[in-house]
Every structure is written in structure tokens, then in C-alpha cells.
Structure 1
């Protein structure tokens, strides 16, 4: 759905999700998945619960977003980050994870 990386604080629904609303709290996070490191475009927490524990962060990618319910804060720094995001992640040797 969304080609450009979304700002922090954005609330989304996921394709093939259960209808839970998720708020994006991190981007380009590197996590261990099946004993190897991968990165995901987004890490998010449930709305309204928030981060109940560090293990309660849900990781997904731009292509998994079905709908943007609320778009987070944007300023010049955010716009610059969003413009450079795809180039930054294309330079990593860490593969992108899938859900």
C-alpha cells in the first residue's frame, strides 16, 4: 500500500491481520528470526495497550500495510529520513524479514 516509509506514531491495519490497530514505534529494526538476523521496516505496538513488554513488538514491512488509520508526526527531519530510507536499507547486508 505505502511506498514511502511511514512516520513514527502512525497507526495501521495489516493485510491478513486480525483487525488489531498497531502504532509504529521503530523502523529498520534488526531482529533475530530463526537464528539469523533480519530487518523489518516497522516495529509496532497494539493500540490501546501500548508496549506491555519488549516481546510485544510486532514486526512487519511496508507491503504488509493494508490501511493507514492515522499518520504520525512529520517535519523536515522526518521528510529527509523518509526520502533516504530505501537507499539506507538497500546498503545493508542484512536481509529483509518476511511475515
Structure 2
């Protein structure tokens, strides 16, 4: 993916080493991994079931192998993306 690819909420992607597609549900989520707090580019849920047991999949833009569907883009998303 390019350095600045806009992927809005609702976009469906296939991530590296992932079997099933996932749907993006948040941007820049802060989480703890291996005892360290940090953030990823995206948080997503598996499809077709969505959020199950609060299990969110975290990944960065370089982990995306394929974009299957682009989510909804409006002026607020464009403003958000331009502020990154």
C-alpha cells in the first residue's frame, strides 16, 4: 500500500497471513502488546460475524495484502485523513 492510503471505517481488507477478510472499525487504536503500550494504524473485526468476545485485530498499513472494499468517505473523514 502507498504511504498515505485512505481506508475509512467499513473498509474490508485481507491482511498478511490472514485467512478471512476483516473490516476496519477504528483508526490509530492504542493497545498494549508484550507489556508495552503503543498504537497500530487500524483495528478490525473478522467477517462475517464482526465483533466477538471483544476480539479486535490490530495491524498496520504495510500488513495489508489486498483491499476488497472501500468504506464510506465523507467530508469528516477527508478532514481526519488530511490531519494525519
TM above 0.5, yes or no, is: yes
**What corresponds to 1:51 in structure 2?**
51
More helix by share: 1
Q: Aligned equivalents of 2:52 and 2:22: distance in 1?
A: 13
**Which contiguous aligned blocks of 4+ residues in structure 1 show a shift greater than 4 angstroms?**
none
TM (norm. structure 1) is 0.78
CA distance in 1 between partners of 2:68 and 2:6 (Å): 15
Deviations 1:56-92 (A, max 9, x none): 110001111111100000011101111112xxxxxxx
Q: CA RMSD in A?
A: 1.1
Structure 2 unaligned residues grouped into runs of 5+: none
- Count of aligned positions: 83
Equivalent position of 1:82 in the other structure: 81
TM-score, normalisation: structure 2: 0.91
Report the counterpart of residue 7 of structure 2 in structure 1.
Answer: 6
Q: Which runs of 5+ in 1 are unaligned?
A: 86-99
